[in-house]
Structure 1
Amino acid sequence: MDAQKLLDVAIQHFNDERHLIPMYLHLIVSALFPIYAGAHASLSRPSSAAKPVKKKRRSVGSQDEDADDDDDEEVVQKLEGMSPRDAVIYPVVAGITLAGLYYLITKYGAKAINLIFGWYFAVAGVFSVAKLVSDAATVAISFVFPTYFGWNGRLYRVDGTKKKAIVVRGAADEGEVDSAVPSVPTWLKTFYGTIWAVRAAIKQRYTVHVRAGRDLDEKTNFTMVHALATLFGITTSAYANLVAKPWYLTNLQGFAVCYTAFQMLSPTSFTTGSLLLSGLFCYDIWAVFFTPLMVTVAKNLDQPIKLVFPRPEEVVQAPFAPPKRQYSMLGLGDIVLPGIMMALALRFDLYLFYLAKQQRKTVQKVDTANGKEGKEAEAEMIEKAPYIPVTGYSGDRFWTARLPTSSRPEKLNASFPKPYFYASMIGYTVGMLTTLVVMSVYQHAQPALLYLVPGVLVSLWGTALVRGEVMAMWGFSEAVDAEPVEVGGDTGKKEEGLKLDSAQTWVNMWDEVLRFWGLKEWGTEGKSGKGAAAVEEKRATRGKAGDVPAKGKAVESAQDDDVVFGFTISRYRPKQEAGDLSEPSGSAEDVAGKRE
């Protein structure tokens, strides 16, 4: 009888709250979307894989199917890692910050705080929104203007220079223009040239050269997509701070912040991440249940630190009063903090995939340590499989999906199993559903991490236990130790890291931002990314009066050294290597970009 009554109450409650189901689905999908996209965008070559095999560029007119892809450069995500000490301190710092914001809001009001934070987040909003829009636009363009497509069982490659589709595989005379390609409809012939021009304009790359004094000399590549995405980011931030903040604009900025965070932050290891989430688990309970801090700050701060979801309009009892619109909120911390652990799980899946492909080989080497006459000895060596990018080429994958795997380029077939990532996605979804159910039953704001943290951690460690990989997960780490470099001239001392002057430090920081944004991938000639040695080399080539320049280096004129500021924009020209007979071109058709 008690069970029947409980069931009746549950059914009645479901009927009362059924109108909120679309909003709840909206909330769950909005939380999973940036996690899925950002986690995949954070992928790069794991330590268990070897560097991709680089091919020499072909001469103009080469029939090699990868002729335009030979200049793809490896993109390595540089994430800001955490240590166990950071994981312990972070919840304490978060609690102190939250208490400080609560004090300022209750004493001075939220208007001044929102004004200050508004312009602070405006800068981050421009960068994050531009990054999100740029990547999304690149993926969309790959569907409209693919490089590869399949037709009648054959693989074709679009040649932007010849403005034709060339057979790659499936014909007797590969590399020839095939008449079997569907002809252009009559109504489209008028716009045929315009379509090719638009395609070329979108893929055209430009180089911005900025020079300030003797220390700053940077070249950065960009496309029209990057420029328009930046303009869009500036527009959205300006509108949000000067005009209005509709809920969908707040959510766009929130999505963008989450998306970029997954490509910048890493818990480094599963142990550190578990320690961080455990601390935040306790922090969230304290901030929501035992104090009014979290709810008060979230309701008063009108900033992109939360996602806002409109609830169904409620009828007001007062006569002629308009319906009342309320909103549900989800803090970005409830997405980012479990999400960085889930992104780590995806990278762990990729690590295990290439770890399983490693092979042990026995090689013969000569041991000369025991005398002049060396003796052959056997040594065991681990051979790693070359890394093939598993992200990007979305449009090409779609347009060649009907072709057999053997007929497609290897990069379009790249994939790997994702048991840990999918397990964490299920755990996160279960935790989110539990949060919504409890909130609906008790009609009180809930600390989402109270349910999300157990869902994510139990799913990850439980999967490792079932698969017998607990020790592998425990020992996995993305921490990279700095290599010692010689500094101080002839002193012979070695120190960790690089010692740069203040100007070069800022240049290197800017380089990291550009690389993250995808603007430093295409053979940038700026030297700052190579560290202090490059700075000294650049200064040495400029020289002083009476100095002898290094072989192959030209000393810049004194007039050029006296330039205070210089700014130029030109078409991108890839740097040719010795023996390269290909003609340089500024189009991405000639040097295919890697990231989509």
Structure 2
Amino acid sequence: SADRKQSESSRLQLSALNASDSNGTEALNATAKFVATPEGTALAYGSLVFMALLPIFFGALRSVTCSKSKNAADMPETITSRDAARFPIIASCTLFGLYLFFKMFSQEYINLLLSVYFFVLGVLALSHTMSPFMCRMFPESLPNKQYQLLFTQGAGEAKEEILNYEFDTKNLVCLLISSVVGVWYLLKKHWIANNLFGLAFALNGVELLHLNNVSTGCILLGGLFIYDVFWVFGTNVMVTVAKSFEAPIKLVFPQDLLEKGLGASNFAMLGLGDIVIPGIFIALLLRFDVSLKKNSRTYFYASFLAYIFGLGLTIFVMHTFKHAQPALLYLVPACVGFPVIVALIKGELTEMFRSVTTSSVEFLPTSPRLSSFPTVSGSPASLASSMDTVSMATGLSPRRRRVQLSCM
């Protein structure tokens, strides 16, 4: 009996040692670690790839419509070469700041605040994503009434417009449906609700964030290539923040779905930055195809196939070596290299790098901005820094804002 107790004590001590690594961080006991089946792994990875392609494809198509729009409410944000060059620096500072924040303060309270914040952003993003479909599906027999929500300060000549919010019945229906998803996410943190918000964020980002030319795109992708490799391979900062950050800034799919159904809990994940960053470059190439007026989409399809190849290679390497991989390490060379090779073959390389695909319309300080809806462009750090970049680039006053929701 004494030997049995001693043996049991030894096993408990060994389990305690296995539960934490040399840095004191939590680790999984090898005996309790879930081992995904080949079918479950293939389903999870395949679903992530499929979900990643949706916002890129449809966001790129909507970016063309957005760039041609004469309505100031539909005008996109333009990323210049200066914005692209400083973006990795801002993203790095924000990422490290979040890392310190999670180390110093309670993770529970931080994520509670983030949940409320992303609830609001997610509802707006999903509502904007749904609006074109609602415009087509809304019964003509039902009245589509127009509404305006106006807030002003002062009186007479000193009156200042703070918010002018125009919407209609279709927008209200979209907002109601999105709010149901938002409450579901807020209460349950279910992975399907997370993905609905994540897809909406990604599509909004690809649609509304426009690179002004291919050179700017190469600067942005090159800078974030270094950023991604350094923070994943050089430190544990990005992995730590990603695991602590409970927000819909990644797409997830359970590897144990076949065993546990919708209640599955062992997830494979893909950050939205690995979708939006290449996505805005692919959307740029689609607009370049349109500007050539040759009735072909050569560069768009080349870059789209390159993205599939790069993402597939990322998954293969990650699965083979059982280690987190910076997806941009594979996506950037593929998404830039394939179109450049095509341009060299067609003799259009100079034209591709000289082309400017953004609208020449200048924004007024009170212009309606759909970018007031969330646009996500990166990891947790990139999310915050993308908001900062938009704010600094436009110089918008937070007090004078007119938002007009319309069907696109």
How does the TM-score come out when normalised to structure 2? 0.74
Superposition map of 1:401-412 within 5 A: none
Partner Cα distance (1:81, 1:478) in 2: 10
1:478-515 deviation per Cα after TM superposition (whole angstroms, max 9, x unaligned): 356677xxxxxxxxxxxxx86xxxxxx5xx25x33399
Aligned-residue offset at 1:418: 1.1
Partner of residue 313, structure 2: 434
Give the counterpart letter for 2:270 in structure 1: L
Q: Secondary structure at the match of 1:210?
A: strand
Change (3 A) 1:210 1:25: same
Aligned-residue offset at 1:101: 1.3
Partner of residue 240, structure 1: 185
Give the counterpart letter for 1:513 in structure 2: L
> Which residue, 96, 104, 117 being the options, matches 1:120?
117
Partner of residue 394, structure 1: none
Aligned-residue offset at 1:138: 3.0
Over the aligned positions, Cα root-mean-square deviation in angstroms equals 3.2
1:89-123 deviation per Cα after TM superposition (whole angstroms, max 9, x unaligned): 11111112111111222232421221222222222
Partner of residue 340, structure 1: 280
Partner of residue 474, structure 1: 353
Partner Cα distance (2:326, 2:132) in 1: 32
Partner Cα distance (1:128, 1:19) in 2: 30
Q: Which runs of 5+ in 1 are unaligned?
A: 1-14, 48-72, 142-197, 317-322, 357-415, 484-496, 499-504, 518-593
Q: Secondary structure at the match of 1:417?
A: coil
Partner of residue 50, structure 2: 29
Partner of residue 444, structure 1: 323
1:297 is aligned to 2:241: yes
Percent identity among equivalent residues? 33
Change (3 A) 1:220 1:45: closer
Partner of residue 334, structure 2: 455
Change (3 A) 1:516 1:27: closer
**Structure with more contact order per residue of length (Cα contacts < 8 Å, sep ≥ 6):** 2
Give the counterpart letter for 2:284 in structure 1: L
Aligned-residue offset at 1:261: 1.3
More helix by share: 2
Change (3 A) 1:209 1:435: closer
Q: Which structure has the bigger radius of gyration?
A: 1
1:500-559 deviation per Cα after TM superposition (whole angstroms, max 9, x unaligned): xxxxx5xx25x3339999xxxxxxxxxxxxxxxxxxxxxxxxxxxxxxxxxxxxxxxxxx
Partner of residue 296, structure 2: 417
1:308-340 deviation per Cα after TM superposition (whole angstroms, max 9, x unaligned): 111126999xxxxxx983101111100011100
Asked whether the 8 Å contact 1:31–1:335 carries over to 2, the reply is yes
Partner of residue 150, structure 2: 210
Change (3 A) 1:514 1:296: closer
Change (3 A) 1:139 1:100: same
Give the counterpart letter for 1:208 in structure 2: Q
Aligned-residue offset at 1:16: 7.1
Q: Secondary structure at the match of 2:252?
A: strand
> Which residue, 9, 17, 36 being the options, matches 2:38?
17
Partner of residue 261, structure 1: 205
Partner of residue 174, structure 2: 229
Partner Cα distance (1:302, 1:45) in 2: 31
Partner Cα distance (2:361, 2:291) in 1: 21
Change (3 A) 1:22 1:206: same
Partner Cα distance (2:165, 2:111) in 1: 35
Partner of residue 265, structure 2: 325
Asked whether the 8 Å contact 1:84–1:272 carries over to 2, the reply is yes
Q: Which runs of 5+ in 2 are unaligned?
A: 1-35, 375-405
Asked whether the 8 Å contact 1:44–1:75 carries over to 2, the reply is no
Aligned-residue offset at 1:463: 1.7
Partner of residue 221, structure 2: 277
Partner of residue 28, structure 2: none
Change (3 A) 1:95 1:210: closer
Partner of residue 513, structure 1: 370
Superposition map of 1:37-52 within 5 A: 37-44=58-65
1:200 is aligned to 2:141: yes
Q: Secondary structure at the match of 2:270?
A: strand
Aligned-residue offset at 1:216: 3.6
Give the counterpart letter for 1:108 in structure 2: F
Give the counterpart letter for 1:325 in structure 2: S
Aligned-residue offset at 1:425: 0.7
Partner Cα distance (1:272, 1:230) in 2: 35
Partner Cα distance (1:200, 1:74) in 2: 29
Partner Cα distance (1:221, 1:514) in 2: 15
Asked whether the 8 Å contact 1:207–1:219 carries over to 2, the reply is no
Give the counterpart letter for 1:425 in structure 2: F
Give the counterpart letter for 2:213 in structure 1: S
Q: Secondary structure at the match of 1:303?
A: coil
Aligned-residue offset at 1:417: 2.0
